[in-house]
Copies of this chain bind each other. A is one copy, B any other.
Amino acid sequence: MAASSTGAARSRATGASGAPSKDVRGAILAEATRLFREHGVDGFSMRQIADAIGYSATTIYLHFKDKNHLMYAVCESGFAEFGASLAAAAASESDARERLRAIGRAYVDFALTHPLHYDVMFIRPKEWAIGPLTDARVGVGPEDPQRADPESFAELVQAVEAAVSARVFEGTIHQGADAREIAMRFWAAIHGVVALAISMNDQMRGFDHDAVRARGEVAIDAALGASR
Chain A residues in the interface with B (C-beta under 8 A): 42, 122-127, 133-134, 147, 149, 153, 173-174, 180-181, 184-185, 187-193, 195-196, 199-200, 202-204, 206, 211, 215, 218-219, 221-223, 225-228
Contacts and interface: CB of A to CB of B under 8 A. Distances in A.
Given A218-B173, A221-B226, A222-B173, A196 B188 contact: yes
Contact of A125 (B193, B200, B221): B200
User: Oligomeric state, in number of copies?
Assistant: 2
B184 A206 contact: yes
Given A122-B199, A195-B195, A203-B147, A185 B215 contact: yes
B202 A196 contact: no
Contacts of A181: 206, 211, 215
18 contacts: A42-B127, A125-B199, A125-B203, A133-B200, A173-B218, A173-B222, A173-B225, A180-B206, A185-B222, A187-B192, A188-B192, A188-B193, A188-B196, A188-B219, A189-B222, A192-B192, A222-B226, A225-B228
Q: Is the interface of A mostly helix, strand, loop or mixed?
A: helix
Given A181-B215, A188-B215, 4 more contacts: A126-B202, A133-B203, A173-B218, A227-B227
Given A189-B219, A222-B223, A204 B149 contact: yes
